[in-house]
């Protein structure tokens, strides 16, 4: 019985880097998220003007978020991923920072890394409409509900619901490679869908937070 055919390692290939990354890969979500950030808000430490050109900080932020989600927890393993992981090479545009560069970036920018991780967790949660989701044993209706009367407690629950989306969403992505049959996700993710959902989630979150601020300033128990 013949074996499955393998490719010829010396065969020339004509393809784009984009074709190596699945359209539903979390790498695309991370890439779209970091590219949407205004890094001037995060006090990123500027590289020295002397010497070789510095790496784009957005690439290093992408690497750390990806490593966190994929449980790549050491600078050496992150550096290795830059050489062998096609998704990482795609996100970083083929650059290969060494482990010292990666480690030093974390040390120099630990506060901004924490802020960006938190923002990612808040914004990724709106990437897919779930309908209903469980948070600490309670169920909260999705944002497309007709109920638009916000109390402070309801706003807290909605924002908590947005943040809680992250683990559930990432669990589905992870399980896609582990299960033969998986419950149908609400919609196929493309770059356009991801970017639109990220924008929608950010606008929704800003609206909720403005309601919270208004209630704190006025002392009103609810906000229509």
101 and 139 fall within a common domain: no
65 and 102 fall within a common domain: yes
69 and 138 fall within a common domain: no
Helices 75-84/57-69 angle, 10° precision: 100
Give me the pLDDT at residue 116, please: 86
Average predicted confidence (pLDDT) for the chain: 74
57 and 91 fall within a common domain: yes
93 and 184 fall within a common domain: no
Count of structural domains within the chain:
2
Give me the pLDDT at residue 188, please: 60
Which segments of the chain have a pLDDT < 70? 1, 46-51, 124-191, 223-224
| 1 is a domain residue | no
Nearest residue to 165 via CA among 212, 192, 191, 204: 204
78 and 64 fall within a common domain: yes
Give me the pLDDT at residue 145, please: 46
Q: Kindly provide the b/e burial profile for residues 41-80, where b requires at least 16 CB atoms within 10 angstroms of the residue's own CB.
A: ebebeeeeeeeeeebebbbbbbbbbbbebbebeebeebbe
183 and 134 fall within a common domain: yes
133 and 222 fall within a common domain: yes
What gap in Å lies between CA 125 and CA 132, rounded to an integer?
13
Range of the domain at 203: 129-224
Number of helical H runs and strand E runs in the chain: 8, 4
């Amino acid at each position: 019985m013949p074996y499955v055919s393998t490719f010829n390692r010396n065969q020339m290939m004509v393809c784009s880097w984009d074709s190596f990354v699945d359209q539903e890969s979390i790498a695309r979500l991370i890439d779209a998220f970091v590219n949407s950030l205004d890094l001037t808000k995060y006090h990123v430490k500027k590289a020295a003007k002397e010497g070789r050109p510095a790496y784009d900080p957005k690439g290093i932020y992408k690497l750390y978020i990806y490593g966190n989600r994929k449980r790549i927890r050491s600078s050496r393993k992150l550096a290795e991923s830059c050489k062998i992981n096609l998704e990482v090479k795609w996100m970083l545009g083929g650059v290969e920072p060494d482990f010292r560069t990666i480690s030093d970036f974390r040390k120099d920018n630990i506060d901004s890394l924490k802020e960006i991780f938190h923002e990612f967790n808040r914004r990724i949660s709106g990437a897919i409409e779930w309908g209903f989701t469980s948070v600490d044993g309670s169920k909260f209706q999705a944002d497309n509900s007709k109920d638009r009367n916000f109390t402070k407690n309801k706003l807290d629950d909605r924002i908590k619901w947005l943040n809680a989306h992250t683990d559930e969403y990432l669990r589905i992505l992870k399980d896609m490679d582990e299960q033969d049959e998986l419950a149908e996700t609400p919609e196929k993710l493309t770059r356009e869908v991801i970017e639109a959902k990220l924008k929608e989630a950010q606008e929704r979150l800003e609206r909720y937070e403005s309601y919270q601020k208004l209630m704190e300033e006025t002392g009103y128990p609810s906000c229509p």
